Amino acid sequence: MFVLVNGRQVASTAAERMVAIESRITRLEGRIARGERFTEPAEDPAGQLRASALARLDARLLAEQRGIDRASGRLALAETAVADSGAVLIRARELALLAANGTTAEPDRAVIAAEVRGLKDQLIALANMRDETGRFLFAGARDGFPAYAADTEGRVLYEGFGEAAGAEAAGLEGLGPPPGPALFGTDEEGAFAILDRLLEGLAEPDGAARQALLESSVADLVTAHDRLMAGQALIGTALARLESETERVAAGRLEVARGLASVKGLDLAAALSELEALRLTLSASQQLFQRVHGESLFDRLG
């Protein structure tokens, strides 16, 4: 039998080589356990930079999505309030038309006036709609206060200022609820002033003057309703924009996930093959070491 006999004492270097293989196995096992191609920056500094940038982008997209969701929620509330406001104005117009009918008597006009006052209160409440955190939707940036308040003479005035917060967190400007005047008109010509004129017309004792006031109110209510509908369309457009932004964010996050998988993801099959190869190498090294250095000529001397 051929026997390998090596008497030279090189055990320390051979052992170091085996230790090096073992440490490679340990590192590879760590990577497999985490499913990542590298577990610390020094293993792949360039890859780590890319992975960091992608992770940041993902966190940013996530924050953007929260901002979009938040803005969408506020706009949805605003849309409901505007739709309800439109219904109020339609009802007010119906009442104005009824009152303008020559057959409506004084007691009926008093009943109509009572309902119009109720509609006005309802419209004020809708114009002062709050979101779930208590912010007034149509007060612009001054959303800690009601958007509209009545003065001492009962006139409803806009108290808001500036632009409401929208989806600025997602880098999108001008997607907040529109300020009150954009929906309800100016203090002088807006919906509340029209309802006041309608009430004034209903209380007008002079028939010709009453008729003129009621008829102009009907026309103005149509304009006010149109403004609300235009505002609603604006809100709808903003919501559609936010929806498309949601899709952009989702697509972006998908790309980020793919990018991270490509940069940091471990090719499990390749890693397991490498692990197997390293184990085989280590085992072979150990056996060879034992065969080569396990015996010397001394063992063969009789």
Size of the site for other proteins (CB under 8 A): 62
d(CA 53, CA 37): 16
Minimal CA–CA distance to 88: which of 120, 125, 111, 136?
Answer: 120
CA 198 to each of CA 109, 212, 289: distance values in angstroms, whole numbers, following the listed order = 11, 10, 105
Helix (H, G, I), strand (E, B) or coil at 118: helix
- Examine residue 6 and tell whether it contacts other proteins (CB under 8 A): yes
Minimal CA–CA distance to 177: which of 191, 163, 197?
Answer: 163
d(CA 74, CA 139): 13
- Examine residue 130 and tell whether it contacts other proteins (CB under 8 A): no
Among 28, 84, 181, 223, binds other proteins (CB under 8 A): 181
CB of 22 to other proteins, least distance (A): 14
Among 1, 2, 9, 205, binds other proteins (CB under 8 A): 9
- Examine residue 105 and tell whether it contacts other proteins (CB under 8 A): no
- Examine residue 140 and tell whether it contacts other proteins (CB under 8 A): yes
Among 22, 33, 34, 56, binds other proteins (CB under 8 A): 56
Nearer to other proteins, 211 or 286 (CB): 286
What are 22's two structure tokens?
């073992």
Q: Check: CB of residue 33 under 8 Å from CB of residue 266.
A: no
- Which residues contact other proteins by CB under 8 A? 5-13, 16-17, 20, 40-45, 48-49, 52-53, 55-56, 59-60, 62-64, 66-67, 70-71, 133-135, 139-145, 158, 161-163, 165, 167-170, 179, 181, 185-188, 296-298, 301
